[in-house]
Amino acid sequence: MSAHLLSDEDRAIQDRARAFVDEELIPWEVHAEEHDGHIPDDAHARHRRMAMDLGFSSMNMPTELGGGGYSMLRQVLVSEQIGRVTNALGWCVHTPAAWAPEVMTPAQVERWLRPAIAGTSHECYAITEAGAGSDVDAIEATARRDGDGYVLNGEKWHVTSFNTADHIYFQAKLVDGEHAGQHAMFVLAKDTPGVRLVREPRYMHTYPDTHAIVAFEDVRIRADQLIGAEGDGMSFTYAWFRYERLMIAARCCGAAERLIEEATAFAEERVQFGRPIIENQAIGHVLADSLTELWAARLMTYRLAEEIDAGLDVKIQHAHCSMVKLYASEMAGRVADRAVQIFGGRGYMRENVAERFFRELRVDRIWEGTSEIQREIVADQLRKRGVRALT
Ligand SMILES: Cc1cc2nc3c(=O)[nH]c(=O)nc-3n(C[C@H](O)[C@H](O)[C@H](O)COP(=O)(O)OP(=O)(O)OC[C@H]3O[C@@H](n4cnc5c(N)ncnc54)[C@H](O)[C@@H]3O)c2cc1C
């Protein structure tokens, strides 16, 4: 990215994030890969402390609440660097629910958000179900009014970080009252009676955080654990999708940069048939394609972040967040595939960065809305608004 588009302070933040990733996180990747995603507790604690001290954790939270109050562009710059490391080592940078400050009551902020911002508490999201993935409206989890509270029931899938979280955002449909059939979002402690871990399946990547299946069986909560109003639940999920889709795009740019750098260095040094393999056009061209696609994805990502900072209309934001997530995640997938090929047999070894990213980046085309769903959103917006409004 042309550095002149960034202010001196933007660049300073970017440099700090890059140094943190290079010096502190990347050295642990192979260890993590060989230990089911885990690194020693003291190293993990150090990473979390540094992420906090450097101002990256809670960078998305308002300064009044103890957060960093970063612009969207600066969050993208940090997330991009975080994307350069594998094995979720970058998850030591914790960004709590971006939509929460605007919609939580002061008491909810004190109880749930401030500890998350301070790093003493961690959330997870229980939205997806066995029968409701892309079609979030198909959820069957229920929230029934009961005296001055609610009773929650349902089974949630892929609950990321359930093993490390202490509270849960739970989306359900209301079964009674004037908003019956509509969505509502609740927050509850993980140790609330009736919350039961069903199992923690293993996934393609080697991460320390699990993606649990969790049952909610007659879980009683107070009325003040409803976030916003009854019927508001989906709007928070949409706000979260927009934010996460942009940050996924940023992380994918970071991953692609690392892969291109590493694959290029390898191709320059690896000699076959008496010359470095990069001297073969077949190798040079795939690197050229990768670099070109990275540049395109990065321009889109930075530009969207700047436009959001400038107050871009939320409907256009929604379409553009889908576009950058779609393009950047598919770009990074192509770059990882090519990098594995350039590394040859070494690219198939778990100690190789391309092998790890090849597996890890696959989910970026699935979570927070699959590529097909992003295309649906973009096509819908195209029909409604036309080409000029969206480009
Ligand atoms: C590692 C991981 C972590 C996750 N973490 C969380 C979490 O913390 N909390 C949470 O709530 N969820 C989480 N998810 C769930 C994730 O958001 C869903 O997997 C995702 O939205 C897709 O839903 P699905 O898996 O049920 O696929 P489905 O919706 O069943 O889709 C299956 C296939 O059909 C396609 N498809 C579906 N509808 C259409 C359509 N209309 N047009 C064209 N194609 C279509 C999809 O694109 C996909 O290719 C996580 C998933 C993974 C893999």
pLDDT digits (tens, 9 = 90+) for 302-332: 999 999 999 999 999 999 999 999 999 999 9
| Closest ligand 1 atom, residue 204 Cα | 1
Tokens matching residue 99 = 């939509």
Question: Which pLDDT tens digit goes with each residue over 239-261?
Answer: 999 999 999 999 999 999 999 99
> Among 1-5, 156-160, 313-317, where is mean pLDDT lowest?
1-5
Average pLDDT over residues 340-353: 98
Structure confidence at residue 4 (pLDDT)? 55
Answer left, alpha or beta for residue 69, where phi above 0 means left and psi between -120 and 50 means alpha: left
Residue 278's nearest CA partner among 266, 290, 289 is 266
Question: Which pLDDT tens digit goes with each residue over 283-292?
Answer: 999 999 999 9
Residue of 91, 95, 134 to mutate, ligand 1, most atoms within 8 A of C-beta: 134
Task: Using the predicted structure, report yes or no on whether residue 3 has a pLDDT greater than 60.
Answer: no
Task: Using the predicted structure, report yes or no on whether residue 157 has a pLDDT greater than 80.
Answer: yes
Residue 376's nearest CA partner among 181, 241, 183, 236 is 241
184 SS3 class:
strand
Task: Using the predicted structure, report yes or no on whether residue 1 has a pLDDT greater than 80.
Answer: no
Structure confidence at residue 2 (pLDDT)? 47
Question: Would the CB of 211 count as within 6 Å of ligand 1?
Answer: yes
Q: In sequence order, what are the beta bridge partners of 174?
A: 143
Query: Which pLDDT band holds residue 5 (cuts at 50, 70, 90)?
Result: confident
**Percent of the chain surpassing pLDDT 70:** 99
For residues 202 and 143, what is the distance between their CA atoms, to the nearest angstrom? 30
pTM of the model: 0.97
Compute, in angstroms, the gap from residue 366 CA to the centroid of ligand 1: 6
Residue 130's nearest CA partner among 193, 221, 201, 204 is 201
Tokens matching residue 345 = 């047999």
Compute, in angstroms, the gap from residue 142 CA to the centroid of ligand 1: 20
Question: Would the CB of 133 count as within 6 Å of ligand 1?
Answer: yes
Task: Using the predicted structure, report yes or no on whether residue 187 has a pLDDT greater than 70.
Answer: yes
Q: In sequence order, what are the beta bridge partners of 151?
A: 144, 220
| Closest ligand 1 atom, residue 126 Cα | 11
Average pLDDT over residues 99-124: 96
Task: Using the predicted structure, report yes or no on whether residue 34 has a pLDDT greater than 50.
Answer: yes
Average pLDDT over residues 263-267: 98
For residues 15 and 212, what is the distance between their CA atoms, to the nearest angstrom? 35
Question: How many CB atoms are closer than 10 A to CB 219?
Answer: 22
Question: Would the CB of 289 count as within 6 Å of ligand 1?
Answer: no
Question: Would the CB of 370 count as within 6 Å of ligand 1?
Answer: yes
The residue type of 267 is A
